[in-house]
Amino acid sequence: MLGISRKKKISYVVNLAIVILLYLVFTMLIRQGIVNSYYSDIMNMMCINIIMAVSLNLVTGLLGQLVLGHAGFMLVGAYTAGLFTIHSGLPLPVAFPIALVLGGLVAAIFGVIIGVPALRLKGDYLAIITLGFGEIIRVIANNLTITNGAKGLYGIDSLNSRHNLTAMFTYIFFIAVLTIFISFTFGTSRHGRAVISIREDEIAAEASGINTTYYKLLAFILAAFFAGVAGGLYAHQIGLIDPSKFDFNRSVEILVMVVLGGMGSITGSIISAGVLTILPEALRGFASYRMLLYSIVLICVMLFRPTGLLGRSEFSLMKTVDKIRGAVKGKKQDPASNKEG
């Protein structure tokens, strides 16, 4: 037992070190101008998509429910945060974090409003309800004056300035890390186990003393909260939001990330969110064949890995090191070849 807990501690420290290292390397690259704003924007979008995918994974992977309206929560968060920073009159560095939390909270409230009636249903039925929600939210945002209708909300300032090119990246990166951390710790706490038990067998969960309604709602609200925060980040990242950015396609895009990475696998979601953000950009050279190639990649993955890249397992640095050590018995191991997703 002692060995396991020590290993856990080492693994925490190693992961933390990698996170900090990654951050330092990227900020340095941005500051030095080696990574230009085009690439750093892609990187930010990647982190935002990671937050979206990891949060959707809480519902789709952990709770095992199909949700097709995740972009709806993102929209709520984006507009809440955007409106707050525009109208609050507070200086941006102060207003920004408050706006993010507010965006998350309002999205979570919407999560409750949708979740209470919707979570009585499961599978296809829940998918259609959430699909309906996503569309309703979008149509409402399209028609309200406060959201500036279809013209969209503009003038949402980015934290980045000429002197500080990495402010947005810092926020987005660390919130993504926090999201990953929390969804991992949540998944391995008693609450996460209860949520998983509902996925596995709802009747047995209820018979084991699990208040299934409560835990379903909990997972749903948590996912909505993070989607709201991601929306807030997104609004400030691109500066102009309009309802069409949060349509059905967006929800599907995020769902694809989760399914492709393996439903229930956090690291899978991270990897596939990363790949699927970069892929369309990397394929720009192919002009109009771009979406064709993108779709072929999706089809191939699903044909050859129907459970997604990682299935339900997690990529773990320590386990990989152990495996390599086992494979290269006797030889000293060079850890430089390992990568963190």
Partner 1 sequence: MSVLETKNLGIAFGGLQALEDVHFSINEGEIIGLIGPNGAGKTTVFNLLTDVYMPTQGVIELDGNNIVGKKTYQITQNGIARTFQNIRLFKDATVIDNVKIAMNSQMKYSVLAGMFRLPSYRREEKAVSKRAHELLEVFNLDGYAHDSAKNLPYGKQRKLEIARALATNPKVLLLDEPAAGMNPTETMELMETIMLIRDKFHVAILLIEHDMNFVMGICEHIVVLDYGRIIAEGTAEEVRSDPKVIAAYLGGE
Residues contributing to the site for partner 1 (CB under 8 A): 182, 185-186, 189-194, 196-197, 199-201, 203-212, 218, 312
Shortest distance, CB of residue 206 to partner 1, whole angstroms? Answer: 4
Shortest distance, CB of residue 317 to partner 1, whole angstroms? Answer: 19
On whether the CB atoms of residues 229 and 104 are closer than 8 A, the answer is: yes
Shortest distance, CB of residue 226 to partner 1, whole angstroms? Answer: 12
On whether the CB atoms of residues 67 and 81 are closer than 8 A, the answer is: no
Shortest distance, CB of residue 194 to partner 1, whole angstroms? Answer: 5
Name residue, tokens 């925490």.
Answer: 12
Amino acid (1-letter code) at residue 269? S
Cβ nearer to partner 1, comparing 37 with 208: 208
Rounded to whole angstroms, how far apart are CA atoms 247 and 148? 17
CA angle, residues 3, 312, 336, in degrees to nearest 5: 55
Rounded to whole angstroms, how far apart are CA atoms 99 and 120? 32
Amino acid (1-letter code) at residue 321? V
Shortest distance, CB of residue 208 to partner 1, whole angstroms? Answer: 4
Shortest distance, CB of residue 320 to partner 1, whole angstroms? Answer: 19
Cβ nearer to partner 1, comparing 137 with 205: 205
Q: By C-alpha distance, which of 38, 45, 40, 41 is closest to 231?
A: 45
Rounded to whole angstroms, how far apart are CA atoms 304 and 136? 36
Cβ nearer to partner 1, comparing 182 with 297: 182
Cβ nearer to partner 1, comparing 182 with 298: 182
Cβ nearer to partner 1, comparing 52 with 62: 62
Rounded to whole angstroms, how far apart are CA atoms 92 and 164? 14
Shortest distance, CB of residue 207 to partner 1, whole angstroms? Answer: 6
Give just the sign of the alpha carbon dihedral 313, 317, 319, 323: positive
Cβ nearer to partner 1, comparing 133 with 220: 220
Amino acid (1-letter code) at residue 244? S
Cβ nearer to partner 1, comparing 220 with 246: 220
- Residue 248, class by beta-carbon neighbours within 10 Å (0-12 exposed, 13-18 middle, 19+ buried)? middle
